[in-house]
Amino acid sequence: MSVASFDNATFRRVLGHYPTGVCIVTAVEADGMPVGMVVGSFTSVSLDPPLVAFFPAKSSGSWPRIQAVGKFCVNVLASDQLPLCRQVAGPGPDKFAGLSHRVSANGSPILDDVVAWIDCTLDAVHEAGDHYIALGRVIALEVDRPGSPLLFFQGNYGEFALLQ
């Protein structure tokens, strides 16, 4: 195993040149309390079976709560939903205060006005350094509001523009 020839700041700076979409992963705990976390590390994995993945930090306070539920919904944020992103990413016990949503057939919150949602059951969790790889088996999904997604790039938020 070779030793890295760079520091954490260099790693973040270089990887920051790759844009990521911004999603909110939601679930409802046994007591009926909704829980959510913002992720910028969501990806499709497999068509057969239909699998997706995201990568929660081991330091996350929300991830163990979502993992314990065993099912979740990935909400793909629209470019005009930065305030929603900041609300759920911020500290506080009730990140859902004032948030409008409906409940998926699987029981997870689908946030209003998102670009798309992907409802999943937790398929597997693998350790990966200071993060986990959370695999979700897709049970339902839909595009609610076709449009520009919220993106994270070089430490800032923005939106996608099509080239003509």
**For position 88, what pLDDT does the model report?**
96
The 10s digit of each residue's pLDDT in 73-96 is 999 999 999 999 999 998 777 889
Give the integer Cα–Cα distance in Å for 56 and 36.
12
**For position 1, what pLDDT does the model report?**
63
Taking all residues of the chain, what is their mean pLDDT, rounded to a whole number?
93
Give the integer Cα–Cα distance in Å for 92 and 19.
28
Per-residue tokens: 151: 């993106």
**More reliable by pLDDT, 61 or 17:** 61
- Give the DSSP H/E element, type plus range, for residue 128: strand 116-128
Q: Is 17 left (phi over 0), alpha (psi -120 to 50) or beta?
A: alpha
The 10s digit of each residue's pLDDT in 106-162 is 999 999 999 999 999 999 999 999 999 999 999 999 999 998 999 999 889 998 887
Cut 0.75: pTM above it:
yes
